[in-house]
Chain A
Amino acid sequence: MPLGSPTALVKLALLSHALAATVLTGAVTHLAVVVWAARRGRANPRLMKLYPAVALVAFGLTFALGALTYPIYRVSVRAAFLDQHAVWASVLFDLKENLAVLVAPLLVGAFALTRSAPRRPDPMLALCAWGAAAAVWFNLLAGLLVVSVRSV
């Protein structure tokens, strides 16, 4: 696999996708904890503004890199292997891809609702933060499971 070959570029895109997803998972997990602490009276307005911004940027990168490698996965992984030998992984991957779209409004909402740095977050922010954290963790674990079976 020479550097600069199509295969090396696809692997680089996949690794970058994984790195961005790791940053996203860290940001939404910290946001979920910060929101939980704020609801118990221990607010940190600086962190409450920071984590949604980091999460939104990481989400954009993860989403774009995932979309870039998706066609290659669809042909060389899903059609060539998973649909015959591991249908559960194929279904899990599709679930992850579709769930990624549904996470977008929660992250945008968390970003918008924290611009005024509330000292006590309302239930809407809590649902955005906790919902996004749950979905992103599901996607991270689903992605790892699928890659453990076969990857691009």
Chain B
Amino acid sequence: MNPDAARLATALGALSLGLTYLATTAGKLGLFYYLPTAHRWTLAPPTALIAMDWFARALWSLVALALGFGSGLALARRWPTRAATLTRALWSLAVVALSWSAVFTAMWLVYGR
């Protein structure tokens, strides 16, 4: 794998995952729920049953990682010179998004649950 393509793909994949994780966690976007006592999936969980949203959050985040990583490889192949200059900015944003996600999760679980 070309090192510049690997760098851009890593940056774009990490940024995509970080933003998707934040959107599904803080914004509650695109969530579906597993009801472990009823053994079924739902978009609108009944309040009386235990509902798990982690599967949806994990799925969308990993899909975003795959799409971002693939897009990074494709971008680097098509515009190699622009890709090299983009990488640093995207990686900085990715580090912010991942750190923000981790801190937000800790605050949400400790104070918001």
Contact = CB atoms under 8 A, between A and B. Distances in A.
A and B pair up: yes
Interface of A: 67, 70-72, 74-75, 79, 91, 94-95, 97-99, 101-102, 104-106, 108-109, 112-113, 115-116, 118, 122, 124, 127-128, 131
B65 A104 contact: yes
Q: What is the interface of chain B mostly: helix, strand, loop, or mixed? A: helix
A56 B75 CA distance: 24
Nearest to B6: A112
Contacts of B14: 105-106, 109
Q: What are the nearest 8 A-B pairs in CB distance?
A: A109-B10, A71-B36, A105-B14, A112-B6, A115-B1, A98-B105, A105-B17, A116-B3
Given A71-B36, A75-B37, A98-B54, 9 more contacts: A74-B36, A98-B105, A99-B105, A102-B21, A105-B14, A105-B18, A112-B69, A116-B3, A122-B7
Q: What is the interface of chain A mostly: helix, strand, loop, or mixed? A: helix
B13 A108 contact: yes
A112 B8 CA distance: 10
Interface string B1-37: 1110011011101100110010001000000001011
